[in-house]
Structure 1
Amino acid sequence: MDGRAMSRSETGLCWTCEMACRAAWPAAIEVRHGDWTARYDGSPIRRTNSLNPLPGATGPTRDVRQAAESFYAGRGRRTVIRLLDFATSDQTALENEGYRSESITRTLHARLNADIAGIGPDTTLHDHASAGWLGLRETLNPDAGGFRAMLQRIEAPLCFAETKVDERVASIAYGVLIDDLLVVEAVATDPDFRGRGLARQTVGALINWARRQGAGQATLQVVAENAPAQALYRRLGFDRLLFSYSYMYAPEQNDTQ
C-alpha cells in the first residue's frame, strides 16, 4: 500500500486519530520492532493482536516481519500485519511472501459543532460499564473476559452510554477522551431492537458528553461493508473519511504459494 498524497496537516490528523484509537482500545503487550509495534492481548480482536505501524514507519522490512512472526508464533497466533492506506508500506512484498489481504475498515472523523438533539431519558451515561452493558457486549462478542481486562487498561477519561427498552439494555457504546478528541468504540445494538434509532441515541449521548468536556472533534472506525452503520455515523456528523486500513494475514503452514 503506497501512502496517499496528503498534506502534512492531514497526515498529522490521521496519526492523531489512529493513535487515539489505539489508546481507546489498548493491548496488554506492545513490543516495538523498528518503526512498528507488535500488539497482543490474546483476544479475537485484530487491532490488538497485529503488527501496527508507528508514525513515520515504512515497510515493514524483512527483519521487522520476521521478528513479528517469531513474536506471534511464540504465542500460538498467526501473524497479522495492519496496513494504513496513508502510511507507506510494501503490500506487494508481503504478498510475495504469501501474505493475503482481508477486510477493509474505515476511519471516520467529525467536527463536534453542536449537540445531538432528541436524546431521550432511556439513554444514560455512566463512568463504569453496568451489568446490563457488559451482558449485551458479551452476548454479542463473547471473549472470555478479555474485553473487561482491556477496559481496565484505558488511562484516559472514559464514559459508557446505554439505551434501554423496557428496562433492558438494548444499545451500548463507550467513549474515550484524548485531549479534545472523542474516540467512539464498541457500538452495538441488540438484534431484537435494531432499526429503532437506538444507536443514534447512544452515540449521540457520548457526543454531547464529550462536548461538555471540551471536545471539538470525534473519530471512530467501522468495517467498510457495514453500510447501515456508516449511514448512521454520517447523520451524526462523521462525514469525513480520514483513511482506511486492511489486514495482511501470514500464510498458514500448509498454505501453498
Structure 2
Amino acid sequence: MNSREKLEIVCAKAWPAVVEEPLGQWTLRWADGFTGRANSTLAVGDPGRPLPDALEAVCDFAHARGISPAVQVLEDSDLERAVAAAGWREQVEHAAGHQVSVLTGPLPSAPSPDAEVLDQATPEWWELAENTREPGSAQRHVVTTGKVGYGVVLADGITAGAVRGAIVDDWLHVSRLAVAPAFRRRGLATTVLHALADWGRAHGADKWVLQVAVGNTGALALYSALGCSEHHRYRYWGPAPRTCEDRQS
C-alpha cells in the first residue's frame, strides 16, 4: 500500500465502527448512521474481487443494515476513476462535506496549562463536542473505543472548548474540536489542541493527523497555523439512483 492508503487505515483505526467486515483489503463499516466515516466502506487496497462485484457487496452490506451505500475513496486515484466509470457518483449531499482534506504535521510543544485531557468524557464534553449528554450506543462506541483522550478547556467555570484525540501507533488522530459560541475568538481552540498534543506526546505520538472537510476554511486555517499541511484528500461516492436498490429484496 502507498502512504495515503496506510494513513487512511490509521485514521480508520482511530474512529472505529461498531461493525467492521473485511472485503479483501477494503473494510465494510456500520455505526447506526453516526458519521460518514463509520458508515461507509473504506476502499483502499484490493477488494479481492472485480470492482462491480465489490460495489455490489457494498450495496448488500449497507442495505442489510439500513444505511445508504457509500465508499470512501482516495481523490484522483485509479480506484476513484474506476468507481466513477462504474456509474457511482460523488455524494455531494453528504452533510459534513463529501470532499475531505487529510492534514498532518508534527506535534507542537507549546505548554498549555489552562486546558487538560481527561481519560473519560464528561457530560459537558459530550454536550459541547457531540451536542448530547446521552449518546447512543453506536455513538459511544465510535467515540470511546481505543486509547482516547478528551481535551477540555474551561472559561467562566464551564466547559468552553473540547476535542477528542486517539493514539494509533505514533499518530495522534484529532477530531471533534468544538468551542462554545460565546467563547469563540479567544484562542481556546489552540489552547485545548496544545494540551492534546502534550497528551499525545506522553503516549508515544510524535505527529498528528486530522480529517477536515475542504469547505471548513476556519478549521483549515487553524491547523495550518499549527504547522499542518495537506497530505491527501478523499471523497465519498454512492451509487446513482436505482443502481442497487433492486438488490434489497
Superposition TM-score, scaled by structure 1 size? 0.82
Distance 1:116 1:87, change over 3 A: farther
Within 2, Cα distance between the matches of 1:247 and 1:140?
26
- Cα contact 1:187–1:199 (8 A) shared by 2: yes
1:223-243 Cα deviation digits (max 9, x unpaired): 1011111111111121x2111
Aligned to 2:37: 47
Distance 1:93 1:184, change over 3 A: closer
Aligned to 2:211: 221
1:94-114 Cα deviation digits (max 9, x unpaired): 3552533422100001123x4
Q: Specify which of 105, 109, 126 is matched with residue 100 of structure 2.
A: 105
Aligned to 1:31: 21
Identity %: 26
Aligned to 1:84: 74
Q: Secondary structure at the match of 1:21?
A: helix
Q: Specify which of 118, 125, 130 is matched with residue 117 of structure 2.
A: 125
* Residue 115 in structure 1 maps to residue 84 in structure 2: no
Q: Specify which of 221, 225, 245 is matched with residue 231 of structure 1.
A: 221
Distance 1:175 1:137, change over 3 A: same
Aligned to 2:183: 193
- Cα contact 2:162–2:177 (8 A) shared by 1: yes
Instruction: Give the C-alpha shift of residue 251 in structure 1.
Output: 2.8
Structure 2 unaligned segments of length 5 or more: list them: 93-97, 245-249
1:31-79 Cα deviation digits (max 9, x unpaired): 2223322111112311111111234569970000011111111122221
Aligned to 1:180: 170
Superposition TM-score, scaled by structure 2 size? 0.85
Q: Which amino acid aligns with 1:108?
A: L
Instruction: Give the C-alpha shift of residue 19 in structure 1.
Output: 1.4
**Matched length:** 239
Aligned to 2:237: 248
Structure 1 unaligned segments of length 5 or more: list them: 1-7
Q: Specify which of 126, 143, 151 is matched with residue 161 of structure 1.
A: 151
Within 2, Cα distance between the matches of 1:134 and 1:140?
6
- Cα contact 1:59–1:88 (8 A) shared by 2: no
Instruction: Give the C-alpha shift of residue 17 in structure 1.
Output: 2.5
Q: Specify which of 141, 156, 160 is matched with residue 149 of structure 1.
A: 141
Within 2, Cα distance between the matches of 1:146 and 1:161?
21
Within 2, Cα distance between the matches of 1:87 and 1:59?
18
Aligned to 1:4: none
Within 2, Cα distance between the matches of 1:126 and 1:164?
13
Within 2, Cα distance between the matches of 1:86 and 1:230?
21
Within 2, Cα distance between the matches of 1:27 and 1:73?
16
Distance 1:145 1:51, change over 3 A: same
- Cα contact 2:23–2:48 (8 A) shared by 1: no
Q: Could you say what the CA RMSD is over the residues aligned between the two structures, in angstroms? A: 2.7
Instruction: Give the C-alpha shift of residue 146 in structure 1.
Output: 3.0
Instruction: Give the C-alpha shift of residue 148 in structure 1.
Output: 1.4
Query: Aligned ranges for residues 41-80 of structure 1 at < 5 Å?
Result: 41-55=31-45, 61-80=51-70
Within 1, Cα distance between the matches of 2:130 and 2:201?
29
- Cα contact 2:149–2:165 (8 A) shared by 1: yes
- Cα contact 2:90–2:235 (8 A) shared by 1: no
Q: Which amino acid aligns with 2:31?
A: D
Q: Which amino acid aligns with 2:103?
A: L
